[in-house]
Amino acid sequence: MIQFKTHIGLLQHLPGMHYLEVPQEVVQQLGTLKIRLHCTVNQALTFQCGLMALGEGKAYISISKKRMQQLRLALHDTATVALEKDDSKYGTDMPEELEELLYQDEEGNRRFQLLKPSVQRYVLNHVSAVKSPQLRVDRAITLIENLKTLPEGKEDFRAMLGLPPR
């Protein structure tokens, strides 16, 4: 586990996106930006995350307004962060509804496993984002059925949602 103090910043290129700055020394200790982590803030809230380059050897972890409210943090506040490597298969939780669908749908599972890890996480988070179990089932079915109609290697999340290309 790596622990450090940092501050809440605001990304200039993504208005409204708050972040926890990860100092250069911590990035060097981790050895890479391509790593999934469990991030614990102020010993109160833990979530799965990844690192994004910030420049000058530093990185950042985005933090949602909802999480900031839970932690009673605001822009420029100081926070204590603890990072641990996330060894889970996808770097985020697999919703039960999607897991069951992939268990039953061999081709859907094969196509899901071919997706880039970042797209897999996006699918998992999209399905998990709703509270209703039936809506999670509906989202899972829509995404996987649409995925199976797309050419391999040309998967696009908008198309998986059933939306037209931009």
Number of domains in the chain: 2
Contact 133, 97 (CB under 8 A): yes
The per-residue pLDDT for 15 is 75
Per-residue tens of pLDDT for the chain, all 166 residues: 999 999 999 988 777 889 999 999 999 999 888 888 999 999 999 998 999 999 899 999 999 999 999 999 999 999 999 999 988 888 888 999 999 999 999 999 999 999 988 899 889 999 998 899 999 999 999 999 999 999 998 888 888 888 887 7
With respect to residue 90, please indicate whether it lies within any of the assigned structural domains.
no
Query: 58 and 32, same structural domain?
Result: yes
Domain range for 107: 96-160
Query: 64 and 21, same structural domain?
Result: yes
Query: What Å distances lie between residue 61 and 6, 11, 77, 133, CA to CA?
Result: 11, 11, 15, 29
What DSSP assignment string belongs to 14-78? STT-EEEEE-HHHHHHH--SS-EEEEEETTTEEEEEE-EEEETTEEEEEE-HHHHHHHT--TT-E
Query: 66 and 15, same structural domain?
Result: yes
| Distance, CA of 2 to CA of 43 (rounded, Å) | 13
The per-residue pLDDT for 143 is 94
Joined tokens for residue 120: 């897999």
Report the candidate in 67, 74, 76 with the shortest Cα–Cα distance to residue 40: 67
* Coil vs helix vs strand at 130: coil
Q: Which residues of 62-80 are buried (b: 16+ CB within 10 A; e: fewer)?
A: ebeeebbeebebeeeeebe
Joined tokens for residue 9: 């910043």
Query: 7 and 78, same structural domain?
Result: yes
Q: Supply φ then ψ for residue 68, to 5 degrees.
A: -60, -40
Where residue 68 falls (left for φ over 0; alpha for ψ -120 to 50; beta otherwise) is alpha
The per-residue pLDDT for 163 is 84
